[in-house]
Amino acid sequence: VYYYLNIAYWSLLLLSVLTGNDFLSRIAQFETYTTAMFVASTAFSTFFGLKWWHDARRELRREQTSDWRALLRYSWNALFWLGFVLWYSVPPLTVVTDYAGTAGSIACVYGVVLTLSSALMVGVYSFLGEPQLPRKLVMIGPYSVVRHPQILGNFLFIMGFSLAGGAVAATAAFLLSFALYRVTVVPREEQLMESKYGQVYRKYMERVPAFRWGWVILGVIEAVLLWRFSPWSITPASAYY
């Protein structure tokens, strides 16, 4: 639904630009888009929040609860979509854009490169969601550094984009969503991978961390680029307004 809304709006906007039709231009106003995105995000966040509450109540009523991760199964979804709700409803902080926008942009680009390169190597692109088994086990390239480069790349893209835009509340929600995704979905994916590839994947897990070196490399890139271009020596954009 979210993808279709985006496709419909941007197609309509392109059509209004190409045709110059006033009626289409009025419909394709950016306010219409942000309103639709806010409503959709609110609906999704509420939906997954209710599913989480239902599952949590059901698990807590049992005499012997199952894995505690079952209590958090839908919590990451609810927080993920809440991040978009906050993105469209909470005004951005200009001071964050002035001084942290560059760092957010670097994280965003890093996330895109990490996601696309790993997707091309493994032959499957997955934008979060439920675990998906690749057609083949890849242990080179980005997969030689982190076990889940697509997951890390997708979250860094979203968090970096939010931080670059000054959406601090949305960035915090996405970060918490990543933490919950890490403890709920990732273990299930690794169990499926282990059942499919056996001892080979177990040795791979012992050798390559899930995410740690991906964060370390990002930190090094951030430090080098921020030192090289010295963004703090530049007059903040807000000074010109």
pLDDT at residue 239, as a whole number: 45
Q: Return the axis-axis angle of helices 212-229 and 94-122, rounded to nearest 10°.
A: 130
Place of tokens 């199964």: 73
The number of angstroms, rounded, from the C-alpha of 155 to the middle of its chain's C-alpha atoms is: 3
Give 1-226's CATH code, choosing from 1.10.287, 2.40.50, 2.60.40, 1.20.120: 1.20.120
- Chain-wide mean pLDDT for the chain? 84
pLDDT band, very low/low/confident/very high, at 230 (cuts 50, 70, 90)? low
- CB-count burial class (<10 Å; 0-12, 13-18, 19+) for 56: middle
- Dihedral (CA of 129, 109, 9, 84) sign: positive
Which residues are within 8 A (CB) of 15 and not within 5 positions of it... i.e. 6 or more apart? 21, 24, 28
- Residue with token string 């080979």: 200
Contact predicate 167/148, CB 8 Å? no
Q: Residue range 205-215: average pLDDT?
A: 91
Per-residue pLDDT at 64: 64
- How far, in Å, CA of 123 to CA of 134, rounded? 7
Domain ranges of the chain: 1-226
**What is the spatial distance between Cα 155 and Cα 149, in angstroms, rounded to a whole number?**
10
> What is the SS3 assignment for 224?
helix
Query: What is the predicted pLDDT for the residue at 54?
Result: 87
Per cent of the chain over pLDDT 70 is: 92
